[in-house]
Amino acid sequence: MIQLTASCTRVVFSGFVRSRCEVMQSPVEAPTPRALADLVSRCTQIDRFTVQLIAAEESRIAALASAIFAMRGVLELEEVPPDKLPARQGRIQHWALTGGDLDAEATPAIRRLRGTLVVDEHEQVKILSHRTWRGMWRVVTLWRDGVDGLSSRDLLEYLARLAIRAQEIAPAAARALRERSEAIAATSPLLPSGPRSRDD
């Protein structure tokens, strides 16, 4: 261990005050080679575990994106007009995962997002950004961990909220469909029996 300290003394000479600093040894701890090797090993393990966690989160995000794509009708996701997207992306259908009634589910990370989160017909999550004054999106980015500051952890949390929302409103949506089906069945006695002719 090396010790370094600095001490200053004042010297009066011919009416002037002068300061003289002397460097002395003070405690400075340097890790031993073994301690350094242990630290490097721990940091390597942390990095490896972080990569594994991100991979696991991205796998769950892909599964949730696929499920939410199937739930888009229940969630009443708004389709992004093709003419609001760049030409190449306009050939693919996109549904907004943020905005409108979904604002209630938005997490702080989603609110900080500069753009709109969407899912496309291939069940991929994307971020629309750089909107023009005409409402057109100039940039469409396929989401990956950290894109536009949105981590896999934050996106996983938000998509899980959307899935829970769909689970909560699914019974009401099913009841509405049943009522429509019953209304159709109720009109059966009003229809003529047998095949209709062309003159009918």
Q: What is the pLDDT of residue 70?
A: 92
Q: What pLDDT sits at residue 98?
A: 95
Nearest-angstrom CA–CA distance, 193 and 86: 53
Tell me, yes or no, whether 42 lies in a domain. no
Residues 77, 16 share a domain: no
Question: What is the tens place of the pLDDT at every residue in 83-93?
Answer: 999 988 989 99
Average pLDDT over residues 160-189: 77
In a domain, 71, yes or no: yes
Q: Is the dihedral of CA 79, 82, 85, 86 positive or negative?
A: positive
């769909």: which residue's tokens?
Answer: 166
DSSP SS3 for 56: helix
Mean of pLDDT values over 47-56: 89
Torsion sign (Cα): 96, 98, 101, 102: positive
Q: Which residue has the higher pLDDT, 40 or 182?
A: 40
Q: State the pLDDT at residue 82.
A: 94
| Angstrom distance (rounded) from CA 56 to CA 54 | 5
Examine the domain organization and report whether 14 and 65 are in the same domain.
no
Q: What is the overall mean pLDDT for the chain?
A: 82
The answer to whether the beta carbons of residues 78 and 61 sit under 8 Å apart is: no
Query: Structurally, how many domains does the chain consist of?
Result: 2
Q: Which stretches of the chain are DSSP H helices? A: 33-70, 72-75, 87-90, 108-111, 152-186
- On whether both 98 and 167 belong to a single domain, the answer is yes
35 located within any domain: no
When computed from its CA atoms, the radius of gyration of the chain, rounded to whole angstroms, is 32
pLDDT at 124 over 90: yes
For the question of whether the overall pTM of this predicted structure is more than 0.85, the answer is no
Give just the sign of the alpha carbon dihedral 143, 148, 151, 157.
negative
Name the residue with higher pLDDT: 162 or 15: 162
Categorize the per-residue pLDDT at 38 as very low, low, confident or very high, splitting at 50, 70 and 90.
confident
16 and 82 housed in the same domain: no
**Domain region containing 161:** 60-179
Is the distance from CB of 118 to CB of 94 less than 8 angstroms? Answer: yes
**Structural domain includes residue 134:** yes
